Amino acid sequence: MNLIKYACLAILACLILSCSKEAVISEPADETTGLTLVKSFNNNAHTIFLYTENGKLQTGYNKIYLQIKSADGKFVSDAVVKWSPVMKMTSMTHACPFSTIKKTINTETLYEGYMVFQMAGNSMENWELTVDYSIGTSNYSAKTTIDVSENSKKTVVVFKGTDNVKYVLAFVSPTLPKVALNDMEVKVYKMQDMMSFPVVNNFTVKIDPRMPGMGNHGSPNNVNPKQKEIEGSYFGKLSLTMTGYWKINLQLENESGTILKGEPISETVESSSIYFEVEF
């Protein structure tokens, strides 16, 4: 009898431990640690949350994270998501360069991508974001306006080249520059039409960083950003020899070696017509 009693107690203990273990596993981890909410919006079925590291959307390159929460309070882990940012101006409508959306590595409910905003919104003109997604065989859509502010430094340049093509160059990194030879990433797009901005391949972004407040001196060992793979970013090395304000003068060179925009720095030319800004 005692043997049966102990066996029953052992089975009961196992069931309790099993239930406790399942409860812990089913409790979702906070996958947005280190991120700040930008905005939440909803449709009839879900609430969508947008995050960035600083809680802002600004002109230039923005890495953006996204979560989808159902009406029962559970976050969606198996959605296929697309987005479409559009600037509604008083005289026209246009899009901007943006990425596809993928699941963030080592997460269950967090998705990520990026957008490159060429201009800020204002009281009369603003950016509108549409998020289309599917879960299984069901399709959904949600739309909202988003606030895009002007970055305090120039991190995106838009211009027409000598080939009569309009280009968008976006500074991606270093996000935390140091007195060192920094890894540099730049994205290069062309405007195919008002809604389409394909990646430009096989160009070179020539850089010449200068300190205007320090006699416009430059720095050694810079490496001009080039693509490592087709449809990818441009990578190079940015040499910063001291803290302060730097103007990264640019020239865009096509695959034939022709400069499409930008000027070399000389005694008579202190700044290129296209440039990024860094201050630290």
Q: Closest Cα to residue 280, out of 176, 172, 153?
A: 176
Helix (H) or strand (E) holding 280: none
Q: In CATH, what number does 156-279 get?
A: 2.60.40
Q: Closest Cα to residue 248, out of 195, 171, 137?
A: 171
Instruction: Return the higher-pLDDT residue of 11 and 83.
Output: 83
Percentage with pLDDT > 70 across the chain: 90
Tell me the residue type at 229. E
Quick one: pLDDT band at residue 1, thresholds 50, 70, 90?
Answer: very low
Per DSSP, the residues of 179-235 read: SEEEEEEEEEEE-SBTTB-PBP-S-EEEEEEEBGGGTTB--S--EEEEESSTTS-EE
* DSSP-derived secondary structure letter, 72: T
Quick one: pLDDT band at residue 28, thresholds 50, 70, 90?
Answer: low
Q: What is the pLDDT of residues 177-230, one digit of tens each?
A: 999 999 999 999 999 999 999 999 999 999 999 999 999 999 999 999 999 999
Give the separation between CA 74 and CA 71, rounded to whole angstroms.
Answer: 7
C-alpha torsion sign, points 148, 149, 150, 155: negative
Q: Which ranges in the chain are annotated with CATH 2.60.40?
A: 36-146, 156-279
User: In the numeric block, which tokens belong to residue 216?
Assistant: 């416009």
DSSP-assigned beta bridge partners for residue 182: 238
Given CATH 2.60.120, say whether it is the number of domain 36-146. no
84 Cβ neighbours under 8 A, 6+ residues apart: 95, 98, 129, 130, 132
Beta carbons of 246 and 277 less than 8 angstroms apart = yes
Q: What is the pLDDT of residues 238-275, one digit of tens each?
A: 999 999 999 999 999 999 999 999 999 999 999 999 99
pTM for this predicted structure: 0.89
139 Cβ neighbours under 8 A, 6+ residues apart: 132, 133
